[in-house]
Amino acid sequence: MHITRRERFNAAHRLFRPDWDDEKNLEVFGKCSNPNWHGHNYTLFVTVKGRIDPETGFVINLKHLSHIIKTYIIDKLDHKNLNLEVDFMRNKIVSTENIAVAIWNELDQPVKEIGGKLHCVKLVETENNYVEFFGN
Amino acid sequence: MHITRRERFNAAHRLFRPDWDDEKNLEVFGKCSNPNWHGHNYTLFVTVKGRIDPETGFVINLKHLSHIIKTYIIDKLDHKNLNLEVDFMRNKIVSTENIAVAIWNELDQPVKEIGGKLHCVKLVETENNYVEFFGN
Amino acid sequence: MHITRRERFNAAHRLFRPDWDDEKNLEVFGKCSNPNWHGHNYTLFVTVKGRIDPETGFVINLKHLSHIIKTYIIDKLDHKNLNLEVDFMRNKIVSTENIAVAIWNELDQPVKEIGGKLHCVKLVETENNYVEFFGN
Amino acid sequence: MHITRRERFNAAHRLFRPDWDDEKNLEVFGKCSNPNWHGHNYTLFVTVKGRIDPETGFVINLKHLSHIIKTYIIDKLDHKNLNLEVDFMRNKIVSTENIAVAIWNELDQPVKEIGGKLHCVKLVETENNYVEFFGN
Amino acid sequence: MHITRRERFNAAHRLFRPDWDDEKNLEVFGKCSNPNWHGHNYTLFVTVKGRIDPETGFVINLKHLSHIIKTYIIDKLDHKNLNLEVDFMRNKIVSTENIAVAIWNELDQPVKEIGGKLHCVKLVETENNYVEFFGN
Amino acid sequence: MHITRRERFNAAHRLFRPDWDDEKNLEVFGKCSNPNWHGHNYTLFVTVKGRIDPETGFVINLKHLSHIIKTYIIDKLDHKNLNLEVDFMRNKIVSTENIAVAIWNELDQPVKEIGGKLHCVKLVETENNYVEFFGN
């Protein structure tokens, strides 16, 4: 049984490598490398795997899952600059892929502590693009 | 090849255990334990697995699948009280997880009879919450 | 300039007149008259009309509007039985139309107090049905 | 007859007044005043009013309308910082309201030149918030 | 009070004038003039205006409205070729605008007969394009 | 890590076997067998599997993936008749299943050439029906 909670955050970012000049960054990352930033409404789907607890009928209490996602992820990313203000994205390329992996790493342990097992972190950047990470 | 049919039903329910008092039910199930019920527009996605029949180009005829879902599930759940009026939910906690498992059990055999194999029952309770059941 | 805030609530209800018998209620209201209730995920769009305040660039501060909608509407309707538990729906037929009018009446004055003018209450009951009320 | 074209842009922005200190900006604009910016996937609906041309069955050729919106708006806003990089937002508070008015002003004349009359600029900032501007 | 019902139909069509050659049709209508047809999932929103009947709480019974739309529109357009098979589109350019006007003309009288007044026919051709007709 | 790109195409088609008469085609394929065609807005989700390239933070450059999908699929299917005008659908029943398999076969090699591995082709025909193909 999989159970999924959706949360959202709105943030600024840019794609670039500081060891590349602007021209090279533009060539690889296109308009996403804009030095003045751009931004997105990100939609995050966190899927947890588990068995149904016969006492509650729940795999996991979604209020607890939502609380964890808000504490570890949304409070740190929402209305923030993902390149400058997020401890767990420091010195990383802020691609959707890398954000999804970092979110997995932040959530893996807390989800265990409420009795679940993280199955998938899906991060939707636009209506046309999304990534899914299933762990290492 | 997976093929999926979406159907919808609108129903009332509450989450509670009759062997717990109201306070304990409120503590575990929150506002979902409201004794006067609340309700949802449920969206159901039924995914069937199979090979393409070269004669028809179909894994399964979706009209047949839709007919089965309507007969075995929608007619029994739509505009109903899930705690009081659904034979296959009797004496169960009416969590999204338990409804999904029950729907699987109702559909498994009929789907076989039209030549398919049930792969997933996905039940969406709100835009923020859904569960997926892949069988026992 | 119109500005719109979306909020959501999940509730149980039934359509019926106590002065009609079950047969007559069924004839007029169909399966919506189920005596054991059914329910919906309602989506509410509240539209306020006004001029842009040059100091803030806002017609109205959406945080204030959201706070008002939550206080006067969502807290009273969410995870509730609309027939039994909502003071401003007492002795009314709980149709989408009547809920929308009642929401208008509850919000009209508070919206004025934060400097706006209510323009439209749109209430979506299912993906196929919604009503819009523009005031008396 | 109204005809509407949807386009999208992803951009960074912040809400603030340079003549207010950070504390005052935070008080009025909340987390939207973050000095390091945040961002959104904006969805823009441009509605044009007119009569059907009996020769083509069109009120307006949507390819022409889309071309105008892309040239005058999307190319200037997409993957940009709305505070720093958009000529027609200079020295304005970058609220959704003010962006919508500015888009109206940019599109009004070009829409006339292809035979239409601008009726509404609707700008959706998040799934919960949008504004509509109908002209001065 | 406005009340809206959504219905859907899937159909083939092409935009062209028989008195123009292929080149001219291609120039004006672009790829929509493909002589071998193309098609869409059309979404139709029919809005009716009226006062709430105090006996039922309804502006109009949505089951009746849905029945009318299905009888007069969906049964004639769904899984059809809009150019070849629809009596009320004969000898017309099958633009979204013209379809919307024709739907209005078909629905106007039947809606009156169930006690409503047609307010708007909204026809969505793609997620990026739609028209709204408010009557003559 | 999975990464997904959404693209869309609008097309006409019909379901039928030329070796069956109209009656038999109608019996098996229902209104989808209409000899005058019908059509859909198809939504295509292409999912590619891979590891994150540490140099770019990308599994695959989505611009390249989008370019491939447009070149090999959208340009050939959009505003076309899927039965008559698509080389890779010739002599096939144009079911959603068969289109999805054909799209997989067209994309498999080009996706390899940009360093990815095709994981899933999901093709959505209507809001109620979709198929997913995961390869042979």
Least CB–CB distance from F4: residue in A28, A30, A130: A130
pLDDT of residue D136: 82
Rounded to 5°, angle at Cα B21 from B19 and B22: 130
Q: Determine the residue of chain B that is closest to F121 in CA distance.
A: B1
pLDDT of residue B38: 98
Distance to chain F for B61, nearest Cα, Å: 9
- Across the interface, whether the CB atoms of D132 and C1 are under 8 A apart is answered yes
3-state secondary structure string, B2-52?
EEEEEEEEEEEECCCCCCCCHHHHHHHHHHHHCCCCEEEEEEEEEEEECCC
| Model confidence band, residue B136 (pLDDT cutoffs 50, 70, 90) | confident
- Across the interface, whether the CB atoms of B129 and A6 are under 8 A apart is answered yes
Could you give the 3-state DSSP secondary structure of residue A10? strand
B interface with A, Cβ–Cβ below 8 Å: 15, 17, 28-30, 92-98, 100-101, 127-134
Distance to chain C for D134, nearest Cα, Å: 7
- Residues on chain F touching A129 (C-beta within 8 angstroms): 3-6, 62
pLDDT of residue F62: 96
Task: Answer whether D104's CB lies under 8 Å from D81's CB.
Answer: no
pLDDT of residue A49: 97
F125 is catalytic: yes
Question: What is the rounded distance in angstroms from the CA atom of residue D130 to the CA atom of residue D106?
Answer: 19
Q: Which of D32, D64, D85, D119 is catalytic?
A: D32
D32 is catalytic: yes
E interface with F, Cβ–Cβ below 8 Å: 8, 10-13, 31-32, 34, 36-41, 78-81, 84-85, 126-127
Question: Regarding beta strands C2-13 and C80-81, do their DSSP bridges make them parallel or antiparallel, or are they unpaired?
Answer: parallel
- Residues on chain C touching B74 (C-beta within 8 angstroms): none
Give the residue among E45, E14, E8, E43 at the shortest CA–CA distance from E133: E45
- Residues on chain E touching F41 (C-beta within 8 angstroms): 40-41, 126-127
Q: Can you list the pairs that D88-94 forms with residues at least 24 positions away whose Cβ atoms lie under 8 Å?
A: D92/C57, D93/C56, D93/C57, D93/D15, D93/D16, D93/D17, D94/C57, D94/D13, D94/D14, D94/D15
| Model confidence band, residue F76 (pLDDT cutoffs 50, 70, 90) | very high
End-to-end alpha-carbon separation of chain C, Å?
21
Torsion over CA of B65, B71, B74 and B77, rounded to 10 degrees?
Answer: -150
Question: What is the rounded distance in angstroms from the CA atom of residue B20 to the CA atom of residue B23?
Answer: 8
pLDDT of residue A136: 81
- Across the interface, whether the CB atoms of B39 and C39 are under 8 A apart is answered yes
Question: What is the rounded distance in angstroms from the CA atom of residue D100 to the CA atom of residue D104?
Answer: 6
Question: What is the rounded distance in angstroms from the CA atom of residue D75 to the CA atom of residue D90?
Answer: 16
Q: What number of other Cβ atoms are within 10 A of residue B67's Cβ?
A: 13
CA dist E80 → B85, D42, E42 (Å): 40, 36, 12
Question: What is the rounded distance in angstroms from the CA atom of residue B103 to the CA atom of residue B44?
Answer: 10
Burial of A81 (0-12, 13-18, 19+ CB in 10 A): buried
Q: What is the mean pLDDT of residues A18-34?
A: 96
DSSP class of residue C105 equals: H
- Across the interface, whether the CB atoms of B79 and C38 are under 8 A apart is answered yes
- Residues on chain F touching B52 (C-beta within 8 angstroms): 95, 97-98, 101
Domains and CATH numbers, chain D: 2-133 (3.30.479.10)
F120 is catalytic: no
* Percent of the residues in chain A that have a pLDDT greater than 70, as a whole number: 100
Distance to chain F for E59, nearest Cα, Å: 29
Q: What single string gives the DSSP state of each residue in C1-30?
A: -EEEEEEEEEEEE----TTS-HHHHHHHHG
Question: What is the rounded distance in angstroms from the CA atom of residue E52 to the CA atom of residue B100?
Answer: 39
Chains interfacing with F (3 or more CB pairs < 8 Å): A, B, E
Tens of pLDDT, residues D69-118: 999 999 999 999 999 999 999 999 999 999 999 999 999 999 999 999 99
Rounded to 5°, angle at Cα B87 from B86 and B91: 90
**Mean pLDDT score across all residues of chain B:** 97
Tens of pLDDT, residues C60-89: 999 999 999 999 999 999 999 999 999 999
Tens of pLDDT, residues D3-35: 999 999 999 999 999 999 999 999 999 999 999
pLDDT tops 90 at residue F115: yes
Q: How distant is the alpha carbon of residue E100 from its chain centre? A: 4
What ipTM goes with this model?
A: 0.96
Active site residues of A: 32, 79, 125
Residue ranges of chain C with per-residue pLDDT less than 70: none
pLDDT of residue F109: 98
Give the residue among C123, C134, C107, C102 at the shortest CA–CA distance from C41: C123
pLDDT tops 90 at residue B79: yes
- Across the interface, whether the CB atoms of B57 and F92 are under 8 A apart is answered yes
- Across the interface, whether the CB atoms of F4 and A132 are under 8 A apart is answered yes
Give the H or E element holding residue F63.
helix F62-69
Tokens describing residue D85: 């990089």
- Residues on chain F touching E12 (C-beta within 8 angstroms): 12, 36-39
Q: What is the mean pLDDT of residues B34-56?
A: 97
Q: What is the pTM (predicted TM-score) of this model?
A: 0.97
Q: What is the mean pLDDT of residues A121-134?
A: 98
Q: What single string gives the DSSP state of each residue in D47-59?
A: EEE-PPBTTTTBS
- Residues on chain A touching F6 (C-beta within 8 angstroms): 127-129
pLDDT of residue F136: 82
- Across the interface, whether the CB atoms of E133 and D1 are under 8 A apart is answered yes
Partners of D126 in the beta sheet? Answer: D129
Tens of pLDDT, residues E71-84: 999 999 999 999 99
Could you tell me which residues come within 8 angstroms of residue B40 by beta carbon, excluding any fewer than 6 positions away?
B10, B11, B13, B125, B126, C10, C39, C40, C41
Q: What is the mean pLDDT of residues F13-39?
A: 96
- Across the interface, whether the CB atoms of A34 and D80 are under 8 A apart is answered yes
Chains interfacing with D (3 or more CB pairs < 8 Å): A, C, E
- Residues on chain A touching D34 (C-beta within 8 angstroms): 79-81
- Across the interface, whether the CB atoms of C97 and E57 are under 8 A apart is answered yes
pLDDT tops 90 at residue D58: yes
pLDDT of residue E136: 82
